[in-house]
Amino acid sequence: MIILWTDTLIYLLVIAISLAIFFIGKQPQMRRPIKKIGASKTGMISLVVLIFFVIIGLLDSVHFKSTESRTHEIISLLDYWAKPLREQGEKTYSAPFSTQLYSKETMTADDGTTQWGYPRLKFGGAHLQNPEAEWKMDVFTKALIGFGKGAGLFALLFIFFWITLHKNHEHFFANPTSKAVWFVLFTLISKTYMLIDLSMYYHVFGTDKVGEDVFYQAIKSIRTGLVIGSLTTMIMLPLAIVFGIMAGFFRGWVDDVIQYIYTTLNSIPSVLLIAASILMVQVYMSNHAEDFNSLIVRSDMRLLFLCLILGVTSWTGLCRMLRAETLKLREMEYVQAAQALGVRRGAILIRHILPNVMHIVLISVVLDFSGLVLAEAVLSYINIGVDPTTYSWGNMINGARLEMARDPVVWWSLLASFIFMFSLVLAANLFADTVRNAFDPRRAD
Amino acid sequence: MHLTLDEQIRENNVDNKLLEVKGLTVAFKKDKVVDDISFDIFAGETFALVGESGSGKSITALSVLRLLPNNAKVSANQILLNNESLLSIPEYDFCKIRGKRIGLIFQDPMSSLNPVMTIGEQIAEVMKIHFDYSKEELTPAVHKLLEQVEIPEPQRRINEFPHQLSGGQRQRIMIAIALAGKPELLIADEPTTALDVTIQAQILELLKTIQKKTGMSLWLISHDLALVSTMADRIAVMQKGKVVEIGSTNHFFKQAKHPYSLKLLAALPSMDSCTNKELKKIDNNETPLLKVESFKVYYPIRKGFFKRIVDHVRAVDDVSFELKQGSTLALVGESGCGKTTLGKGLVNLIPTTAGRVLLNGIELNQLNGDELRQKRSVIQIVFQDPFASMNPRMLVGDIIAEGIKALHSDINLVDRQQRVANLLKQVELPESSALRYPHEFSGGQRQRICIARALAVEPKLIVCDEPTSALDVSVQAQIIELLQKLQKEQGVSYLFITHNLAVVAEIADEVAVMHKGKIVEHGHVEQVLTQPQHPYTQSLLDAVPVLAD
Amino acid sequence: MIKYILRRILYALPLLMGVNILSFILFFVVNSPDDMARMQLGQKHVTEQAVQNWKHQHGYDLPLLWNDRASSNKKMTETIFYQKSIGLFLLDFGVSDSGRNISEDIKQRMWPSLSIALPSLIVGLLVNISVALMMVLFRNSYLEFSSIVLCVILMSISSLFYIIGGQFFIGKLLKLVPISGYDTGFSAIKFLILPIVISVISGIGSGARWYRTLFLEEVEKDYVRTARAKGLTETQVLFKHVLKNAMIPILTGVVVVLPLLFMGSLIMESFFSIPGLGSYTIDAINSQDFAIVRAMVFLGSVLYIFGLILTDISYTIVDPRVRLS
């Protein structure tokens, strides 16, 4: 097993989040907002979708050296399972579910005659004898079979949970929210299975310029999106919390210095700061090529660095909010009472200030997530995002954009990245709304 | 036949019912906050709806005007304004009732006025909606109204913004806005609660004069029985959404029947309570617990290019006094007089500018850092707002134990818990409270927890900063009783900061009156309250609403 | 007032100094001028002489921070840091690494940027406010609910898709306007319509939602209840009272970005091939022209700080409660 830098951080993040959930769950005053989230239909549905994405992302974060290929390239668990998708490429563009290439070329038949036309794909629909006649029926039956398998899997799962959770029937099965959650789970599982089944025989989202399966690209991009959304937050949180609270609590010169730092950082247009830093990293890496021998290590470093830069440019907003809130809190009577009781300043910070700003932190974390996923696409577009060899929706869009001028249009890369990115961002946005409604004290009932 | 006043009024005004409410119910979700109440308001009378906070009195008024948020469910059998049913008026026509036939004044004039519109615009707006004034007539009309509510220099004020006025003047503007539609009924929802005592008296006087002049009815909503007694013709008492007693003012104060009304009357702090107070045995030769000499807290005013200090705001200006062991000194004054600043300065919560504070032989404000922290147990503070003075994320037990932990780290967990349990017992709360969170307690209970927290470090002196003014009258009395009991048991001294003279009469041994950062009068409570020397003290005393006999 | 502005400008100097130092560290400490020269001249076949020539030409042949060889009072000044910083503070951006005059370029490219950014901002503001007002007016109805859902959906779509979709449907399929390009004078309008429409649409989701929360916050305030008690209809309340108060945060939020409009929009300009400062910056990033990127960083900070000062001033104009001190 090989652990990349981002993998380490992802594992750390998973541990941190589990601990956070554990501790938050233990605190009674947190129960009301958590219950509120649990009761919200959109909140729970979006959470299920998010978790689905996270699972894929986590599968893609377990890396090891492939023993099969000669090159010993580094692959992930997801790559391992998606082997057909990864390896069975075509020559160039092909449309979704197509059995032929997208462009005409000279074909040499068995008898030696040449012909100008659309050649059959090496992989997509190769099992069909007569594509024109069988194609429709075959896609339909394959889809149905996949759907059936997925539904069967879901049924097994459902029965398992039905038996284990039966005591809390009302809680897990009977109310409208849980019904909706089960329904979403059903669609997710069966549709995924359907896609997996179909992708064994076809390129469900077509292939790109070099013949790589677009469905595979889109799935691989999930990890990139999640990493950017979550690692950036992890980098920016400590900065924002420490600086924000210190500035608000100690005021005076501490406040002046911190304000100076964040105004300075804020005043630099963030795109330019990112661009400058990425340029520097690029030059650094090309000058120290020996440290970054493997392509995947190289692109991983760049991804990590992008998160770092994004984190550095995005902590100022939360910092300002926390500073303002701390300024308010330090004048609260309970803080003054603690002061009068002779409680040390450090203890006041940790016991009285920090727990009372955590809801702001939580809300801003979930709100920032979707923005960062969207930002990745834009940054990749201007070549200051992730490495061009990294799978990301931004790179997919960037590659496909140039083909918009073609006639007929090559649209499937765009469609695939749109569907995946949109569903992740929408789920994140909806979940963020639920969290904000639940934790914002002004919206409490 | 001899009729009571109430019956006389009823006799004379049978056809003169201005507002008739029958079976009014307001519910939020499933909670009925107003439960099937009925009452009438007669033409030209002052009708008072009295009750403690949360009794539903404001909601009643707002529901009649359909000003409640959408999630409120309002139902009523009948609401008649001058025999015209308000219930049958569709929403788009209801604008002709609001502001035109029924005017409304709110409690907080600052937040109730639009901050970015001039006063003139806000008053003229009402006239523009309800009457056909031409542009030329509008300004003189506003002008006249400002004169009517006795705003000085109306021609200048007309173009000013709400924040440029004082609290009392803002309330006068609110009244002017309410009067601009020439309403038949004026609803005043706690019109003076946010104001100082002296201003309060002026506003009430103004309302009386205007009512006399225009002959409109006044519907007064208040928690203050004493105030109501000076204003109202009839009183209705509300408790938990129900009207429990209704009758003429005289009748009510003499022969109230409902137990809740009796409880309210009994809880009224009386100014007379200072006269027959037993003198505490205090050894005059003993050195005082607290000795304050020329204490000053100044805030710099910075101006100019380099932000040089050009002057100071003298929040506390050269104050000296003494406080004896086991006694209570009340610090009285209106908002902004510097009494809270003085209290916080003594507890060393804000930096002081100058002066000597000798507390139990230590000069606290000369200490710094850890030394100061260690000595802090001598003086503690109890704040006004019981909702803001406890960390919502901590258990009550931990809140009380916090000071013990910080100052006596040698005490182990078991002893600490024992002490917390004892403290809870002392403030008359169940021991199980230690494992609950502040939001599970009512305002009065929270104030008890705050007192327990202060007592935990065994202070000699507790600064009580308006500890009762956020509480209902009946709860107020209980807290004061508790404070007195604790003083008797433990010999702790109080510096009691308040604006409420009736509470002073109840609890204080000595009184110091503060005005603009200085102590203008200082003496024994009976002497100050019955024979005030300083004109400011006199004006304070004059403004206190006294139960009309 | 003038005193206040002067003081704010004085405060801005240390900020700009910080920006300058930061960008200096980013550009010169990580990479030596030699690296940059090689990159500009191409990696292969570069003689040492050529590198030295390039460095001399662009003023990079001095020590970074401290010149030991210079005479005493020039130890500080005869350095790359000093030379390059002085130019920035005088807003003289010098020559780009590829040999163009940056200040001239900026002056020329500012206007196309502005001609997209300003109309987009104004139209966007009007559209967002109207949508938000409509949502608040019909609050607690299905109309509001569906608008909120629509807003969330709109803001979940990457701006790249708006551009690509807009170019494809409006430009390519319907052929209403040219897909991309730019012209001088009034003939530029036909090129500007599409980018402006797209940037307005892509901003509706988040913008309208944000303004809605601002409006709702105001609606719950006490003075709104007073306005209703006066007998105003719901529409009057909204337009006369709520809008007036909510415009304060909205306007001041707009003022802070006003100066930055000169910088243009990076993606819009590059997608629509508009010769503005945004595409200028992108080109510089792609060709790794450090002099231009550094100049743009500095210009951006100057404009941002200018925006902050403008915000404070605009507060005193729109909000009677705020006085400068």
Tens digits of per-residue pLDDT, A27-42? 766 777 888 888 888 8
pLDDT tens column, A264-283: 988 888 888 888 888 778 77
Give me the CATH number covering residue A313. Answer: 1.10.3720.10
- In chain B, the residue whose alpha carbon lies closest to the alpha carbon of C219 is B69
Distance from CA of A110 to the nearest CA of C (A): 42
Average per-residue pLDDT for chain C: 84
Calculate mean pLDDT across residues A201-209: 82
pLDDT at A65: 81
> Does A259 lie at the interface with C, CB-CB under 8 angstroms?
no
Which residues of chain B have a CB within 8 Å of the CB of C226? Answer: 104, 106, 112-114, 174, 177
Distance from CA of B183 to the nearest CA of A (A): 35
Q: Is residue A231 part of a domain?
A: yes
Q: How many residues does chain B have?
A: 549
B115, B126, B163 member nearest C230 (Cβ): B126
Instruction: Say which residue, A411 or B186, is predicted with more confidence.
Output: B186
Angle at B102 between CA B96 and CA B104, to 5 degrees: 120
Calculate mean pLDDT across residues A186-198: 87
- Number of A/C CB contacts below 8 angstroms equals 120
Closest to B466 measured CA to CA, from B359, B376, B356, B332: B332
Instruction: List the structure tokens of A10.
Output: 């992802």
Q: What is the DSSP letter of C27?
A: I
pLDDT tens column, B406-426: 888 888 888 999 999 999 999
The reply to whether residue A260 touches residue C285, judged by beta carbons under 8 angstroms, is no
The reply to whether residue C248 touches residue B125, judged by beta carbons under 8 angstroms, is no
What confidence tier does A421 reach under pLDDT thresholds 50, 70, 90?
Answer: very high
The reply to whether residue C3 touches residue B304, judged by beta carbons under 8 angstroms, is yes
Least confident of A46-50, A163-167, C25-29: C25-29
Phi-psi group of B44: left, alpha or beta (phi > 0 → left; psi -120 to 50 → alpha; rest → beta): left
- On the question of pLDDT at A94 being above 90, the answer is no
Q: Find residues 189-228 of chain C whose CB sits inside 8 Å of chain B.
A: 221-223, 225-228
The SS3 call for residue B27 is: strand
What confidence tier does A258 reach under pLDDT thresholds 50, 70, 90?
Answer: very high
Return the exposure string of B306-341: e unless at least 16 CB atoms fall within 10 Å of the residue's CB, then b: eeeeeeeebbbbebebbbbbbbbbbbbbbeebbbbb
- Number of B/C CB contacts below 8 angstroms equals 82
Which residues of chain A have a CB within 8 Å of the CB of B454? Answer: 337
Which residues of chain B have a CB within 8 Å of the CB of A29? Answer: 392-393, 437, 439
- In chain A, the residue whose alpha carbon lies closest to the alpha carbon of B368 is A342
C-alpha B46/C-alpha C229 separation (Å) is: 20
Helices marked H in A341-411 — which ranges? 345-348, 354-381, 393-401
pLDDT at B1: 41
- On the question of pLDDT at B187 being above 90, the answer is yes
C-alpha A274/C-alpha C325 separation (Å) is: 36
Choose the most confident range, by mean pLDDT, from A162-171, B15-24, C31-40, C58-67: B15-24
* Domain co-membership, A241 together with A379: yes
Please classify residue C94 by burial: count the beta carbons closer than 10 Å to its beta carbon, then call 0-12 exposed, 13-18 middle and 19+ buried.
middle
- On the question of pLDDT at C37 being above 80, the answer is no
Q: Is residue A162 part of a domain?
A: yes
Which residues of chain B have a CB within 8 Å of the CB of C233? Answer: 92, 95
User: How many other C-beta atoms are found inside a 10 Å radius of the C-beta of residue A26?
Assistant: 9
* Domain co-membership, A402 together with A270: yes
pLDDT at A95: 80
- On the question of pLDDT at A166 being above 60, the answer is yes
- On the question of pLDDT at C319 being above 90, the answer is no
Which residues of chain A have a CB within 8 Å of the CB of B384? Answer: 333
Q: Is residue A436 part of a domain?
A: no
* Domain co-membership, A252 together with A192: no
C-alpha B71/C-alpha B58 separation (Å) is: 16
Q: Are B47 and B232 in contact (CB under 8 A)?
A: yes
Q: What radius of gyration, in Å, describes the C-alpha atoms of chain A?
A: 26
C30, C152, C297 member nearest A272 (Cβ): C297
pLDDT at B132: 87
- In chain B, the residue whose alpha carbon lies closest to the alpha carbon of A352 is B391
Distance from CA of A108 to the nearest CA of C (A): 37
pLDDT at A443: 59
Average per-residue pLDDT for chain A: 85
C-alpha A127/C-alpha A139 separation (Å) is: 12
Q: Is residue A50 part of a domain?
A: no
Which residues of chain A have a CB within 8 Å of the CB of C293? Answer: 272, 275-276, 279
* Domain co-membership, A108 together with A182: yes
- In chain A, the residue whose alpha carbon lies closest to the alpha carbon of C269 is A382
- In chain C, the residue whose alpha carbon lies closest to the alpha carbon of B308 is C325
Which residues of chain C have a CB within 8 Å of the CB of B159? Answer: none
pLDDT at B8: 54
- In chain B, the residue whose alpha carbon lies closest to the alpha carbon of C138 is B70
Residue type, A270: S
Distance from CA of A330 to the nearest CA of B (A): 11
**Number of domains present in the structure of chain A:** 2
Contacts of B297 (CB under 8 A, 6+ apart): B315, B316, B338, B341, B342, B345, B350, B351, B352, B353
* Domain co-membership, A190 together with A272: no
Q: Best mutation site among B91, B95, B97, B145 for testing chain C: the one with the most C CBs within 10 Å?
A: B95
* Domain co-membership, A276 together with A369: yes
Which residues of chain C have a CB within 8 Å of the CB of A404? Answer: 164, 167-168, 172
- In chain C, the residue whose alpha carbon lies closest to the alpha carbon of B186 is C229
> Does C233 lie at the interface with B, CB-CB under 8 angstroms?
yes
Closest to B45 measured CA to CA, from B96, B71, B8: B8
Q: How far is CA A79 from the centre of its chain?
A: 17
User: How many other C-beta atoms are found inside a 10 Å radius of the C-beta of residue C67?
Assistant: 17
Distance from CA of B403 to the nearest CA of A (A): 5
Contacts of A242 (CB under 8 A, 6+ apart): none
* Domain co-membership, A147 together with A241: no
What range does the domain containing A174 cover? 89-199
Which residues of chain A have a CB within 8 Å of the CB of C26? Answer: 276-277, 280
The reply to whether residue B125 touches residue C232, judged by beta carbons under 8 angstroms, is yes
Instruction: Report DSSP letters for C56-108, one per residue.
Output: HHTT--S-SS--SSS-GGGTTTSSHHHHHHHHHHTT---B-TTS-BHHHHHHH
The reply to whether residue A404 touches residue C168, judged by beta carbons under 8 angstroms, is yes
Distance from CA of A329 to the nearest CA of B (A): 10
Least confident of A239-253, A378-392, B29-43, B163-177: A378-392
Helices C290-318 and C277-286 pack at an angle, to 10 degrees, of: 150
pLDDT at A255: 93
Query: For chain C, give me the number of helices (H) and strands (E)?
Result: 14, 0
pLDDT at B311: 83
Instruction: List the structure tokens of B333.
Output: 């004054």
- On the question of pLDDT at A386 being above 90, the answer is no
What confidence tier does C223 reach under pLDDT thresholds 50, 70, 90?
Answer: very high
* Domain co-membership, A167 together with A307: no
Q: Is residue A127 part of a domain?
A: yes
C-alpha B344/C-alpha B321 separation (Å) is: 16
- Complex ipTM: 0.85
pLDDT at A445: 47
Closest to A215 measured CA to CA, from A194, A231, A230, A229: A194
C-alpha C24/C-alpha C15 separation (Å) is: 14
| Segment (H or E) for B36 | strand B31-42
Residue type, C280: Y
Average per-residue pLDDT for chain B: 87
Instruction: Say which residue, A327 or B266, is predicted with more confidence.
Output: A327
Distance from CA of C307 to the nearest CA of B (A): 21
* Domain co-membership, A226 together with A189: no
Contacts of C300 (CB under 8 A, 6+ apart): A267, A268, A269, A272, C260, C263
The reply to whether residue B113 touches residue C221, judged by beta carbons under 8 angstroms, is no
- On the question of pLDDT at B24 being above 50, the answer is yes
Instruction: List the structure tokens of B289.
Output: 């617990």
Instruction: List the structure tokens of A163.
Output: 């038996």
The SS3 call for residue A8 is: helix
* Domain co-membership, A195 together with A331: no
pLDDT at A278: 83
What confidence tier does C324 reach under pLDDT thresholds 50, 70, 90?
Answer: low
Is the CA virtual torsion B101, B107, B111, B113 positive or negative? positive
C-alpha B100/C-alpha B96 separation (Å) is: 6
- On the question of pLDDT at A442 being above 80, the answer is no
The reply to whether residue A333 touches residue B389, judged by beta carbons under 8 angstroms, is yes
Q: Rounded to two decimals, what is the model's pTM?
A: 0.87
- In chain C, the residue whose alpha carbon lies closest to the alpha carbon of B165 is C321
Contacts of A27 (CB under 8 A, 6+ apart): B393
- On the question of pLDDT at A24 being above 70, the answer is yes
pLDDT tens column, A280-325: 787 777 777 777 777 788 888 888 989 999 998 889 999 999 999 9
Q: Which residues pair with B48 in a beta bridge?
A: B220, B235
Which residues of chain C have a CB within 8 Å of the CB of A377? Answer: 158, 160
The reply to whether residue B391 touches residue A29, judged by beta carbons under 8 angstroms, is no
Query: For chain B, give me the number of helices (H) and strands (E)?
Result: 21, 21
Closest to B178 measured CA to CA, from B126, B241, B216: B126
Instruction: List the structure tokens of B206.
Output: 């103004």
> Does A269 lie at the interface with C, CB-CB under 8 angstroms?
yes
pLDDT at A53: 93
C-alpha C65/C-alpha A17 separation (Å) is: 45
C14, C156, C164 member nearest A404 (Cβ): C164
Helices marked H in A88-209 — which ranges? 131-164, 169, 176-199
Least confident of B368-377, B454-463, C92-101: C92-101
* Domain co-membership, A264 together with A406: yes
User: How many other C-beta atoms are found inside a 10 Å radius of the C-beta of residue B140?
Assistant: 10
Distance from CA of A159 to the nearest CA of B (A): 38
Class of domain C110-158+193-318: mainly alpha
Calculate mean pLDDT across residues B237-265: 89
Contacts of C241 (CB under 8 A, 6+ apart): B114, B117, C218, C223, C224, C227, C232
pLDDT tens column, B311-369: 888 889 889 998 988 889 999 988 888 899 999 999 988 888 888 888 888 888 788 88
Instruction: Say which residue, C62 or B521, is predicted with more confidence.
Output: B521
- On the question of pLDDT at C60 being above 90, the answer is no
Helices B443-455 and B413-426 pack at an angle, to 10 degrees, of: 130
- On the question of pLDDT at B182 being above 80, the answer is yes
Q: Are B379 and B461 in contact (CB under 8 A)?
A: yes
- Please state, for a pLDDT cut of 90, what percent of chain B lies above it: 40
What confidence tier does B440 reach under pLDDT thresholds 50, 70, 90?
Answer: confident
Neighbouring chains of A at 3+ CB pairs under 8 Å are B, C
Q: How far is CA B140 from the centre of its chain?
A: 36
Q: Is residue A445 part of a domain?
A: no
pLDDT at A214: 87
* Domain co-membership, A338 together with A404: yes
- On the question of pLDDT at A161 being above 70, the answer is yes
Which residues of chain A have a CB within 8 Å of the CB of C181? Answer: none
pLDDT at B452: 94
The reply to whether residue B116 touches residue C231, judged by beta carbons under 8 angstroms, is no
C-alpha A22/C-alpha A27 separation (Å) is: 9
Which residues of chain B have a CB within 8 Å of the CB of C317? Answer: none
C222, C236, C241 member nearest B106 (Cβ): C222
In chain C, what are the domain boundaries?
A: 2-90, 110-158+193-318
Which residues of chain A have a CB within 8 Å of the CB of C288? Answer: 279, 283
The reply to whether residue B114 touches residue C3, judged by beta carbons under 8 angstroms, is no
